[in-house]
Amino acid sequence: MSTAQTGKLYETKAIKYLKDLKYEILQRNYKTKYGEIDIIAYDKKEKSLVFIEVRYRKNIYFGTPQETIITTKQKRIILSAMYYLKLNRKNYDRIRFDVISFTNEDSIEHIKNAFQLNIYQKYFI
C-alpha cells in the first residue's frame, strides 16, 4: 500500500471515529497555498470548529505520530485554518487544533488542543 493510500485509509478511520462522537465533517483534505488540513469538523458538544491533523506511524521507534507534527507543520495548518475562516465568514465560538493518531490498526488517540493559535498570533496581527 502506498503512503497516500495509507493516509487516506487512516483519515477515513478518523472520520468514522469523529462521526461516532457526533462531529459534523465539514471538509476533508482542505488545500490552500499554505498547506493542507486533513479534516475540518464541527464539535457540536463543545461548539468548536476543529482543524484536525491525522497521523499514523507503523514504528514509533523514532517518535509517536503526534511528535512528527513539528512547528513548521503547525504553522502551515494554522495559516490554512485562518484562510478557511476568512473564506467561510461564520462566527465560531471557539476553534481548536486536534491530532488524531494511530500507532496500529486498532489504536486511536485523540489529542484535543494539540497546539495553540497564540504561538503564531504575530502572523495575524
CATH number of the domain enclosing 18:
3.40.1350.10
- pLDDT-derived band at 4, boundaries 50, 70, 90: confident
pLDDT more than 90, % of the chain: 47
31 forms beta bridges with 36
| pLDDT tens per residue, range 38-72 | 999 999 999 999 999 998 766 555 655 566 677 78
The pLDDT of residue 91 is above 90 = no
- Residue 11 domain boundaries: 3-123
Query: What's the pTM value of the predicted model, to 2 decimals?
Result: 0.86
Tally of domains within the chain? 1
Question: DSSP class of residue 21?
Answer: T
Residue with cell 514509533: 60
- pLDDT-derived band at 93, boundaries 50, 70, 90: confident
Instruction: Check residue 53 and give its pLDDT.
Output: 94
Would you say 22 and 47 are in contact if contact means Cβ atoms under 8 Å apart? no
